[in-house]
Chain A
Amino acid sequence: MVRGARPESDESGERKDQLFELPPELAIDTDVARRVMVGFIRNQLRQAGFGRALLGLSGGIDSALVAYLVAEAIGPESMLCLLLPYRTSSRESVEHARLVVDNLACASDIVDISQIVDGYFGRDRELGAGGAAVREAPPLRRGNFMARARMLVLYDVSVVWGGLVVGTGNKTESLIGYSTLFGDSACAFNPIGDLYKSQVRQVAAAIGVPEEIIRKAPSADLWPGQTDEVEAGFTYPELDRLLFWMIDKRRTDDELLSMGFAPAAIARVKHMVAVSEFKRQVPPVAKLGPRTTGVDYLYPRRRPGSARP
């Protein structure tokens, strides 16, 4: 029996609505996962010499889960949630973010990034700093810019708050490259980056993230009605299962086919993973000297003396 996902029988013996679909092979022990992630957050902060943290709260499940984990790790009094809406962001996103803040009773602030974004792309008839050339920029460019504007605000506020920026990207989006380089993926550390979306849902349910946040369709909220699953052309359970067998369990294409995955889906996901490799790695440095960082100068990131005094 898979914990968290399958409906519990209520007193009448009838099964309640399923909160979300969890492929059985992706089921994890949420107690162990929670314990490891909470320990990770504490450890990363302690070793860096910080007692506080902050994160951008979108109203979605990933950042909601991270907020709950950070609150468990260091207490709500030591965390700050930043709401960073753009003028077209859905009202529901802001409401759900506020719900998380209220439940956790943590500090929060709201910074509307519209002026930053419009200041570059322009608005209505007024040109922005980017001039006429960027006026007709497609939604993808605008979305990437918004993600980076949020990063700018988070990192600036982090100085005043005196905390580290906690990452909120999950494994599924990282593997298919559904993230903005130096935007939403920018962080000091990420506790949920090795959890598939289905597993994020599982831990979120176990830790008490509100049901409406778990139930709603995941969205980057770059334009009204946008959803991840429509954009990607897969449902998360399908995508997670395919990634899990392809990557974690090293199944070959033939084996994936015989498991029932569609050839087009396999080809498409493999392509997405390969072309986004650069997003998951530190930018390469040309090897010139006798010792090069990341090649033959290999130190733990958190080494003696590395913590802020």
Chain B
Amino acid sequence: MQPLRIALAQLAPRLGVLEDNLASHRQVIEAARKGGAGLLVFPELGLTGYQLQDLAAEVAMRADDPRLLGLAADAADMSVVVSFVEEAADHRLFISAALLEDGAVRFIHRKLFLPTYGLFDERRFFGPGDLLRAVDSRLGVRLGLAVCEDFWHLAVPETLALDGAQILINVSSSPGRDLAAIHEVGLGTAASWRTLMRTYAQLTTSFVVFCNRVGMDETISFWGGSEVISPSGEAVFTAPLFDEGLYFVDIELGDVRRERIGLPLLRDERPELHLRELRRILAERTEMAIDEASEAPAETEPS
């Protein structure tokens, strides 16, 4: 397999100013193309900013919005992941990440886990997605898309890898907090994320691509530190904290095969065992028969 050049757009979107963010996305797409990128990743809600509250409905776009299709046309022969507020036909709002390829919106992942605790209030403004699927890409490998908090749930990287993803892509707007000096990088959030991403890469023997935004929305600052982690769990690249920039990283997709041959964890996964036990656990929680429990509405599932 040929080397792949990944471009990480560690941007500082302007809160609620869609036009400005569309313009910066177009510029970055052009710069990434000139830089020879095959895969370009933008952060969570890069097109809208994060702390939207009631602005969410005002910046929402349908999946077939001409502005999104315009970006897809610009992306042309690259694989580009952008993130925006998606309005469904029935007017539900989602935090979505779209894979743009060959001038079209090839796939949309709707954020599955909406943190509504601590400084987060996402569930008030958005609905959670219902689908978790890997997607074929023009890069010749399947990709797994996830948005920020999705990666704080073990089942997400695991499911994506079992569904054939070889590159797991997480787009984030992670607010920096907990400045205790004991942390490796002086920021508790960054230390936690780094642990997670290395663990997922190693356990799924996949590349992990993490693109986190920078800049501030209101009182919260986003810490950047975007990364690419190899299937053996080592960082191939780590972007600086807080600096806006477009960072290029070259990876060898052949590393996935090498790692999976040498360390066949995915081969040895036992999804049927997992499923059986999950069914039992659900049934016990809901005091229903196993078949009923597996059909239970989302609210009763472990979250």
Contact = CB atoms under 8 A, between A and B. Distances in A.
A45 B108 CA distance: 36
Interface stretch (A27-35, A106-114, A134-142, A276-284): A27-35
B180 A300 contact: no
B287 interface: no
Given A27-B180, A300-B217, A302-B15, A32 B187 contact: yes
A205 to B, nearest CB: 13
B261 interface: no
Interface string A279-309: 0000000000000000001111111100000
Which of under 10, 10 to 19, 20 to 34, or 35 or more describes the interface residues of B? 20 to 34
Nearest to A37: B221
Given A300-B15, A300-B16, A304-B17, A29 B51 contact: no
Contact of B215 (A43, A297, A298, A304): A43
Nearest to A195: B179
A27 B181 contact: yes
B183 A40 contact: no
Given A28-B186, A29-B183, A298 B15 contact: no
B52 interface: yes
Contacts of A33: 179
Contacts, number: 65
Contacts of A27: 180-182
Interface in B169-189: 176, 179-183, 185-187
B180 A25 contact: yes
B54 interface: yes
With most chain B CB atoms within 10 A of its CB, the pick from A2, A36, A47, A297 is A36
Given A32-B179, A33-B179, A39 B54 contact: no
Interface residues of A, number: 23
B186 A300 contact: no
B53 A299 contact: yes
Contact of B216 (A2, A29, A39, A303): A39
Interface in B3-34: 15-17
B24 to A, nearest CB: 15
A25 B180 CA distance: 7
A298 B216 contact: no
Contacts of B187: 29, 32
A251 interface: no
A36 B221 contact: yes
B225 to A, nearest CB: 11
A241 interface: no
Nearest to B243: A35
A298 B186 contact: no
A33 B176 CA distance: 10
B218 interface: yes
Interface of A: 2-3, 25, 27-29, 31-33, 35-36, 39-40, 43, 47, 297-304
Interface of B: 15-17, 51-55, 176, 179-183, 185-187, 215-219, 221, 241-242
Top 10 A-B residue pairs of the complex, sorted by shortest distance between their CB atoms = A29-B186, A27-B181, A28-B179, A298-B53, A32-B186, A43-B216, A304-B16, A36-B221, A298-B54, A29-B181
